[in-house]
Every structure is written in C-alpha cells, then in structure tokens.
Amino acid sequence: MVVGNSPNESQFEISLCGIIEQDAEWILARQIGAGGSDRGKRVIDICALSPGKEFIDRARISAATIPPPLLNSPVGVATAIPESDVLGGLNEWQTDCIETGLQIGFLTREFHSGQPYIRQAVSYPDCWFSKLIGIENKPDLSTPGDLTAQLEFDVSISLFDHIILATETYVTEAHLNRIPQTVGVWRFDPESNERTVVREPMMLDSGQAGIEITQRLNDRADIYPITADEKRRARRDIAERTYGKGWRTYDPPACQSASVTAGGQIFCDHFESLIDPSQRCGPDCPGYAEDDPPVMNPDDLRDARTPWIKNPPGVERRQSGLSEFFWVSPAQILLHMSDKIRHLSSSVGGAGWVPWGCSRLEIEDVNLRDDGTLCVSNYFN
C-alpha cells in the first residue's frame, strides 16, 4: 500500500494522468514501449496522443489496439492474400494476431478454392494523430537513477514530438542543467493536483532519421541509426498501443477501505490517499478488510473524458432483417452477383441468400433448402 505523500512513481503517475486528462484533449496510456527497435529497450511512463485530422477514421475501426504486426504486413484492402502469408507463418502468436484483427473488424477472411485468404476490411488512415508526447515521471530528483540516460535516449531517437519530465521536487537551475535543453519540465503536487510548467518542451524532429542509443558502457555508447521510415512505423505502433490501452489498467481491490473517485482512481480510506492497487494492496496491508470491490467502469470514463470512442459504429456487427433478403438460387448468384460476393460458406457450394446492393459481404450460417435455394441467417456488411 502506498501513502499519498510518499515519492512512489506509480501513485504519482496515476494522479498526474487524472489531471492531464482533465486539462487536455489528449488520449493517455501508461507504460508504453517506446524503442525504435528490439535493440534498445525503452518504456515511457506516460504517452499522450493528440488527435489528427483523420482521427475519426481510425476511431471508427475499433476501440482496441490494432496489432502493430498487421500494420506492417503485406495485407491490404485491394487484394486478399493467403492467411499464412500475412505474417510469414501461422504459429501461435501469428494466429492470435490475425484472429484479433478479425475480431475487431480490421481484417476479413474469405475463401478461394477452400483455402483461407485475408483482406484488410478498411483502409488505415495515415494522419490520425498529430503529436505524440512522452512524459517521464521522477517524483524525487534526489534519486534520479538512470533519468539522464533515459531522457538522452528519447531526445536522440526523437520518436516523440515532445518529451517532458514530471517531478514533485522543487526544480533548481542545477537540476535543469543536468536535463537536455529540449526536454520540458513540470512540477506536480499529487496532493493538491497543482501542475506548474517550469520549462516548456521544444519540438523534436520526429519526421527525420534518428539515433537509437542501445547500450552504455562507462564512456562508450552503442548506437543504431533509425531511418525516417522506421520511425514512422514505430510512432504508429506507439500510437496504436496508446489508443487501445489507456491508463486505468488496474482493478479495484476487494477491500472495505477502497473507493473509486469520479476520475476512476482508487482512494484508500486507511491511508487517506490515492493508491495504485497493483502495488502491495492485499491481505498483507494493515488496512485491509475483505469486501466486494467497488464498481469502476474505466471504458465509460475514458469515452466520456477523452476523444477515444468506446463503441465505434463502424465495427458493429449487425444481423439483417428478413425484409433485406431475397430468394436466389446458386446459379443466379454466380451469374448476377459475382461482383458482390466476397465470402461464402464452402460447405454448401459457395452461395446463399444475399442482401441486395451490398458491396462487401462476410456470410455465416448458410443452409441448403430442399428446393435448391440457400438461406443465410447472418452477414457482416
């Protein structure tokens, strides 16, 4: 359990997220991988995403993260490719990735000669976020740890448009001199929720090539050049994970002392402070008293307080009413509707009841009738 005035980074982070969400039209997530390659491991404490001109086109696809490997795959809207070619194989993680893409409506599966093919169901927008802001939390600057190296990494690779250091410590000129000049500095008091801008961040060159610092050994550093295209993909991946993850990644504890604030944070009556329930919250805590956990709806809060959309209409599955169907035979479908059909059940020979005027179909539950016609009870359009 964490006392509110202790310099605990998780509690500080949760408090800061609540204030940022209140003050800015940003989408936030905590603990997001922010390296440009597998060589340099970096996790940013808070990532903030500022919506761009095509934001609504991304939001309507899914509330969840579109798996980044799918965005880097050869699958597209125009042409379906064999399922095994989407990610170069069909091992467990590749299959899970494809299935996630299908479930959230980003991909669609169709069959050719009985073999599964994958097509991108919707176009992915290029300009759906305008800025990425990385925020590194260090409540107590008297124990900075690897802070300088972390900030130098962020500035050198420039995956974010702005980098900001947030601290509870009174910031002196000596502190500022040890922090890269392009890094902004906030002083934040989690007790009063007062946030003071000590120094504004400078704009980093996120559109050009960068240098990833992969390892430091005394006075030597190993570096890896990152091309502009690699940075573009890395920024898109960071944005996707930020959009899908959010910052309320904890569950309310089953304790009488716990309650949920209006902003979706957990308040502990025993310690009289906000807490991170993932940090030592349980039977070993002196204030623990078992009870039903308080109710919290993080998705509802995120939907109400940020541009993120919980239930985008563009990915809802719908079942058609009977008025939308007409009877056709398999021969009629093949002759007159070949340009309308994308996927039919192979178990009945590849045809079905088809809603008139649909340009893209994914059909399920096809049944062969005694008179030779087919009945489709569900479709996705």
Looking at 120, 135, 159, which one is the last position of a domain? 120
- Six token digits for residue 6: 């202790």
pLDDT at 379: 40
Mean pLDDT rounded to a whole number for the chain: 82
Residue 323 within any structural domain of the chain: yes
Residue 86 within any structural domain of the chain: yes
pLDDT at 207: 94
User: Per residue in 238-264, pLDDT tens?
Assistant: 999 999 999 999 999 999 999 999 999
Residue 146 within any structural domain of the chain: no
Residue 264 within any structural domain of the chain: no
Which band of pLDDT confidence, cut at 50, 70 and 90, is reported for residue 346? very low
Domain count, the chain: 2
Residue 267 within any structural domain of the chain: no
State the residue range of the domain holding 113: 67-120
- Six token digits for residue 57: 């086109």
Looking at 93, 120, 147, which one is the last position of a domain? 120
Distance CA 47, CA 290 (A): 34
Residue 345 within any structural domain of the chain: yes
Residue 285 within any structural domain of the chain: no
Instruction: Name 305's Cβ contacts closer than 8 Å, sequence gap at least 6.
Output: 21, 22, 263
Torsion of CA 58, 59, 61, 65, to 10 degrees: 90
Distance CA 334, CA 263 (A): 56
Instruction: Report the largest interatomic distance among the alpha carbons of the chain, rounded to a whole angstrom.
Output: 86
Residue 261 within any structural domain of the chain: no
